[in-house]
Amino acid sequence: MREIVLDTETTGLDPYSGHRLVSVGCVELENHRPTGKKYYRLINPERDVPEEVVKVHGLTNEILDKEPPFRDIVDEFLAFISDSPLVIHNAEFDMKFLNAELSMAGKPVLPMERAIDTLLIARRKFPGSRVSLDELCKRFGIDNSKRTTHGALLDSELLADVYFELLGGHETGSLFEEKKQTVLEIKAANEALRMPEKPRIEPRPPVFCDGELDNHEAFVKKLKKPLWLN
């Protein structure tokens, strides 16, 4: 199964406030492991990059002014990701920016259903724990020492390893087989243990004590216009 681990860097937090992509990085997976194929592009945002954001990813106006805008690389980007699921940490953020850029480029947007959000997976797996990319690297013993600043390609490479560990690491394949075998065993056991239908038990007629019926009839005669006689 082919998947694409994806990360972006931007000029800010909200594309609807005029912020844009400055880079996109992708790592191809096959059966949850990297194939060696990667895609990375710096992108001219066609606007200034705030100084506080440059401190996050190190991409200055001088660097990005030499790069193509997203509309010039959109076709090669879409060709690389094709129709594969997209593995993203905090998918809502990256998908929001990608779809804003795709719309401006006159391309169909990416449905959110394509995204596999590793942030949500980590929160379910480790409730109450910090689940940033750096924290997950520490948890799984993944070397992130080169991550002195955020970078779309480096972060995608690290996330590929984190994603593999979130799925069970080197036990992933055996876990899939175990689940498949367990399902078959349960199905077979249910067939073998299926109980025959219980015989229908007919209700027993009521039993009255001596004089009970006579007392009941005397009580009914005293009633004025009972409902069942209307």
Q: Is 210 helix (H, G, I), strand (E, B) or coil?
A: coil
Dihedral of alpha carbons 151, 166, 136, 33, sign? negative
Closest CA to 7 of 118, 100, 109, 107: 118
Phi, psi (degrees; rounded to nearest 5) at 46: 60, 35
- The residues near 161 (Cβ < 8 Å, ≥ 6 apart) are 137, 140, 142
Active site residue 57: no
DSSP 56-96: HH---HHHHTTSPPHHHHHHHHHHHHTT--EEETTHHHHHH
26, 156 Cβ separation under 8 angstroms: yes
Please enumerate in sequence order all residues whose Cβ is within 8 A of that of 158, keeping only pairs 6 or more positions apart, or say none.
133, 137, 142, 144, 147
- How many residues would you count in the chain? 230
Catalytic residue selected from 19, 32, 57, 150: 150
Residue 113 CB burial class (10 angstroms; 0-12, 13-18, ≥19): exposed
Q: Which residues are catalytic?
A: 150
